[in-house]
Amino acid sequence: MRAVVQRVLGARVEVEGACVARMERGLLVLVGVGRGDGPREVDWLARKLVGLRVFPDEAGRFDRSVVDVGGTIGLVSQFTLYG
């Protein structure tokens, strides 16, 4: 499993010009699933994403997770990550 993670203030996914998903502050994650990936890898990635400390605290230190800031996680399938 491969993932590209980006911290965002907002994001949206469009298909043929129509918005199919929208989110506010959080993490936008492009995920590529490969052969042999299963529940164990999904669990590992989920735990990793909610624990990433990539948001600033009051002092400006990047010490807060998406859970701490009340953000969301948007996952987008991206099979070309294995290409």
Catalytic (active-site) positions: 78-80
Spatial separation of the C-alpha atoms in residues 75 and 6, rounded to whole Å: 11
Helix runs in the chain, H state only: 39-51
SS3 percent helix, strand, coil of the chain, rounded to 5, is 20, 45, 35
